[in-house]
Amino acid sequence: KNQVEQSPQSLIILEGKNCTLQCNYTVSPFSNLRWYKQDTGRGPVSLTIMTFSENTKSNGRYTATLDADTKQSSLHITASQLSDSASYICVVTLGNTGTASKLTFGTGTRLQVTL
């Protein structure tokens, strides 16, 4: 069964600290993996998109890594800010068919950055 598991479910860190969120998937064949940030009450915003041939991609203080062999991805946040408080969702696309049923979503990690 194609699954995407994220950990931890929730995380509280102090402002200025770094953190790493994990995404493990069993989706196969793999097409691409996306990380989204979703603020409370708003739509998700794309942070990174990686195909199987890419093993790292950065977007400002956000750096995503991908190990297609172990089927693991991580999202590293550097020098966290209060505005980083949000849910982070990992989404994996199966193959290259582009069919709706082939998107598999993680349940997200809820990050809270405090003073």
Partner 1 sequence: DAGVIQSPRHEVTEMGQEVTLRCKPISGHNSLFWYRQTMMRGLELLIYFNNNVPIDDSGMPEDRFSAKMPNASFSTLKIQPSEPRDSAVYFCASSWGPGLGRNEQFFGPGTRLTVL
**Which residues inside 45-104 make contact with partner 1, applying CB under 8 A?**
45-46, 49, 51, 89, 91, 93, 96-103
Q: Which letter does DSSP use for residue 68 in this model?
A: T
Positions 16 through 35 that interact with partner 1 (CB under 8 A): 31-32
β-sheet bridge partners, residue 73? 23, 66
Whole-number minimum distance, CB 25 to partner 1, in Å? 14
Under a CB-based contact definition with an 8 Å cutoff, are residues 67 and 23 in contact?
Answer: no
Number of residues that bind partner 1 (CB under 8 A): 24
Binding site for partner 1 (CB under 8 A): 31-32, 42-46, 49, 51, 89, 91, 93, 96-103, 105-108
